[in-house]
Amino acid sequence: MSSTKSAPSSAATRSPRTSSSTRLARSSASASVGRKGDQPKWGIKLAETRGQLPVYVRRTEGGKWFYNGLYEVTSHTTDPTIIRPRLLPPKIVAIDRLVFLKRCAA
């Protein structure tokens, strides 16, 4: 079914990049993880990441990635009632999970 939980154990093996759909605020962010290919697998790794991780964003699909700072995973969800409002057809039609992040203190 769906879950919402704090980030548990293992760390991702590579620095995850968030898509242009990432909503960034001064101290928090959320990453929408897609359903194509191995995206769900990497979304789980991101959700399970502990500690600081670098976050990169891009302003346009296929565009250049920009470093946005260090963040920590605070929680994640696969709950369709939380995900559904984030869908933006025709571009974003399938989200596997949302991963919520907070900016690390400087």
- Domain of residue 93 covers 4-103
Distance CA 96, CA 33 (A): 6
Q: What is the number of structural domains in the chain?
A: 1
Note if the pTM is more than 0.85.
no
Q: What is the CATH number of the domain that holds 46?
A: 2.30.110
Answer whether 47's CB lies under 8 Å from 74's CB: no
Query: Tell me: the pLDDT tens digits for 32-91?
Result: 999 999 999 999 999 999 999 999 988 888 899 999 999 999 999 999 999 998 888 877
Distance CA 91, CA 4 (A): 25
